[in-house]
Structures are given as structure tokens and as C-alpha cells.
Amino acid sequence: MSNIQEKVGQLIERREKAALGGGQKRIDGQHAKGKFTARERIHMLLDEGSFEEFDMFVEHRCVNFGMEKEHYFGDGVVTGYGTMDGRLVYVFAQDFTVYGGSLSKTMSEKICKVMDMAMRQGAPVIGINDSGGARIQEGIDALAGYAEIFQRNVMASGVIPQISAIFGPSAGGAVYSPALTDFIIMKKNTSYMFLTGPKVVKTVTGEDVTQEQLGGASMHTTKSGVAQFAVETEEEGFELMHKLLGFLPQNNMEDAPLAVCNDPISRLEDALNEIVPDSPNKPYDMYEVIRAVVDNGDLLEAHESFAKNIITCFARFNGQSVGIIANQPKYMAGVLDINASRKAARFVRFCDAFNIPIVTFVDVPGFLPGTGQEYGGVITHGAKLLFAYCEATVPKVTVTLRKSYGGAYIVMSSKHIRGDINYAWPTAEIAVRMKKNIRYVGVYRARLIAAGMITSVARGMVDFALPYLREYLRDHAAHLVASRE
């Protein structure tokens, strides 16, 4: 055997060893938990035969706590590039079979390398997370590795699409990288995200809580809003990534790909005449409106189970990808609150960064009142949505379906904040406040005029002030009239 053939044989052996990660026993353990390995996940995600791996033989450099005695090729992460439906993407997948997918300095260098390449090439980056956190044997080097990744997440934000899949644990500092990306997909029952685990929570607060309750997919897609999507299986997650990427451009300098449209642009939808009720207080399903007007009734909703009073989804008009924001009268009357404002603001800013036109369907009675909202900073969060719409320079089309009252009218992409085209449904009503409140104001105004308490000069001032003084006048008007007499 020639020297070259011998070296080629050694290379093949090393590749076969690298493919086993932490060994066959740990691979079997991963499968027993209903989870795939890092390489299996990448091959399921990418087009067949397109994956090109980087740094397959990298090993950690730690010599503390006996770590110098144990080495694995790849050091717990598989990185490289490939194609999804023919489009270039960069990808990394943490390998739980190697030190529980814990992050070392060399692992962070591998991840940073593919993120840097993705930014240079202007291609999306997808991270598949399955990690127990920092590799504590490496101490501050592991923390520094996280910081390097976070820095690149921020640099890539709004430049290339970033998608995170959480298919296992993601604890401690590991949660911040997904949180800095554009979309998070979590698998139910086997994935979780939290800064401190149940044991720490028990020690510090006395609360008994499970991993699923503290940071599972259901919690993060319904209560915290940290994750946009929850899936039943990893296969479903990969299909979702393909569909999501189909609505997105490669980077912020390109447009989203055009899809073939077989939905006639001249199509009339008679059902739209019946969807919006005559009564301003009767609920209806905004999804029926959206599906009636978009191509083939097809849409992809982000944050479907979080802040249901507002809808944020991708759809297409004549093959062109658009972002849709819509109040949902079927849930909390479509009112804006803290969570709805956060959810919509993030979506608007994403669409603006990646050249995706924004279509807004409005049916909003205003902002949700109450001490809970005020104490929680609804003013600040409502301002985030206002800022997002004001800042957006992509085409913005707004359709007011039924009602748009008060400050919520301004916030929901009104023409005064650079909405490009604003349509009004035949049933649309735009006003400072609801008719019921205006009727109350009129009653009190009439009573005060009859009592001689308002001069003609002051009437204009009272018309302005009465909405804010209504509660005071309701309690004290009789006393004031008696005092005047």
C-alpha cells in the first residue's frame, strides 16, 4: 500500500470516528429519548448530499480536571453549510452525545466561524440547540465563548435571517443566543429553556416546578412569548423551517423569493360581505378575512398561541411575500395590551429589516385599561409598536374593517405615521372614543349647561376636558349645582 493510500485510509477512519460523536452507546441513549443526533438532524434539514462540514476534527484544549484524558472529534458541535430547497444556508447543530452538548471555547469558535461566513455570504444561519449549558471545566473561557456568539447574533440581526431550533435542553447562558435570533422553534416535551433550573428555583424561592412548567415549549409559546413555534416532532420542525424560509429573503439586500401563484388576482370573494357583523360589539374571526384575501388561503403564523388578541403571520399576494398584522376581535375584542404590542412590534421590525411589505387589518377598540397594564408599562410597550410602524420604510397598506378608536388608531399603521395606503371597509368607524363614552360626555355637558355652570366661551374648553373629568363630575355635579343655588 502506498503512503498516500495509507493516509487516505486514516482520513476515512477519522471521519467514521467523528461521525460517532460520543460513541454508539450515547447515540442509542439519544434515540431512546426520542431525539436525533446532530448529524442526523442536519441531513434531515438540508437537501440530500448538499452538506459540507467544517472543522470535523477539532478537539478541546482544556487540561483541567482531567479533561486532557478525554477527547472527541468535533468537540460537541457539527458545523457547515448546505442548501435548503436549493438556497444556501449555514448551520450548526450541538451534539448532546459529547459532554452533553456543553459549550467549550473551541465549540464557540466553530459556531462563530459559520456565523461569520453566513454574514459574508449573505445567507441565513440555522442553529439546532441541544446543550446542557457552559462546560464548567473550562471556567471563564466557556463564558467568553458565549459572549463571542452573542456578539455575532447582534451583528447578524437584521442582516441575515437567524432561526433557532430547540430540540433538547437550553439552560443558563445558552438561552441568550436563541433569544437574540429572529425565530425560535421548540419541540414539545423534550425541549426547555430557562436561566435557572427547577432545583435553583426551589432553593431560592421555595417553588416546586418541573422543567416543562418552568421552560417547556408550551410555556414559552403561550405565556412568555420567548418562542414563536412549538412542534410535536423534530421532523415537523424541519418542515416548518423550510416553509418559514420560503417567505424570507437571503439577506437584507434582497427580496423574498416569488412563489408561483395560481390564485387569480381578479378573484372576487363574496364571503367578505358577510364576515364583519353589523354590531360593533359582536366578535368575528379575523382569520376568515385574512384567508379570504391572501393567495390560496395559505399563511404561516408566528406566535400563534401568544397574545391571541393580535395576529402576526406571513402570507402572499400574487406570489409576493408579505407580513400581516391584524387585531383579532374574537379574542379580548382585539384590544391592544402589553403582550400584543410587544408581539406586533417585533414582527413589524423584522419585516422592515428584510424588505417584506406590511399589511395591517384594523379592528381595535383601544388599549386595555387597568392597573395591571399600567403597572406593567403598557405605555412603554405601546410606544414600541408605534415606533416600529413609524420607523418602517417598507410598503405599508392598512385596512380598517370596523372600528379604530383613540390612541390605538394612531398606533395601528394610520396614515399619519407614514402608512402608504389606507383603506376603509364600508363598516369602518374611526373616532377618538367609542360612541357610548361620547354619549356620556354629551349628557354631562347638557346637564352643566342647563345648570348655568358653563358659559358659551368655556364650552369649547369643557368639550375637551370632559372626557378626563367624567368620573369627577359624576360624583360632584349635584353638589356643585346645590352650592351655586
* 408: annotated active-site residue: yes
Phi and psi for 113 in degrees, rounded to 5? -65, -45
Nearest CA-CA partner of 399 in 410, 414, 385: 414
C-alpha to C-alpha distances, 86 to 46, 250, 460, nearest whole angstrom: 9, 12, 66
In the chain, what is the straight-line distance between the N-terminal and C-terminal CA atoms, in Å? 119
> What is the Cα–Cα distance from 84 to 92, expressed in whole angstroms?
14
The alpha carbon of residue 139 and the mean position of all alpha carbons in its chain are separated, in whole angstroms, by 32
> What is the Cα–Cα distance from 183 to 161, expressed in whole angstroms?
9
Q: DSSP assignment, residue 260?
A: P
Could you say which of 22, 80, 132, 172 is catalytic?
172
> What is the Cα–Cα distance from 305 to 227, expressed in whole angstroms?
10
Please, which contacts does 295-298 make with residues 24 or more away whose CB atoms are closer than 8 Å? 295/259, 295/261, 295/263, 295/319, 296/262, 296/263
3-state secondary structure of 54: strand
> What is the Cα–Cα distance from 172 to 174, expressed in whole angstroms?
5
- Pinpoint the alpha helices (H) of 248-285: 272-275
DSSP 198-216: HHHHHHHH-----HHHHHB
Could you say which of 174, 307, 353, 408 is catalytic?
408
* 174: annotated active-site residue: no
H/E element, 87 = strand 87-94
User: 38-45 vs 234-246: helix axis angle to the nearest 10?
Assistant: 40
Q: Who's near 3: CB < 8 A, 6+ residues apart?
A: none
> What is the Cα–Cα distance from 138 to 354, expressed in whole angstroms?
38
Could you say which of 139, 158, 319, 407 is catalytic?
407
> What is the Cα–Cα distance from 329 to 363, expressed in whole angstroms?
7
* 172: annotated active-site residue: yes
* 406: annotated active-site residue: no
CB neighbour burial string for 444-458, b if at least 16 within 10 angstroms, e if fewer: bbeebeeeeebeeee
Could you say which of 132, 173, 216, 323 is catalytic?
173
CB 256 within 8 A of CB 247: yes
Q: How many CA atoms lie within 13 A of 45 on its CB side?
A: 33
Give the residue numbers marked as catalytic: 172-173, 407-408
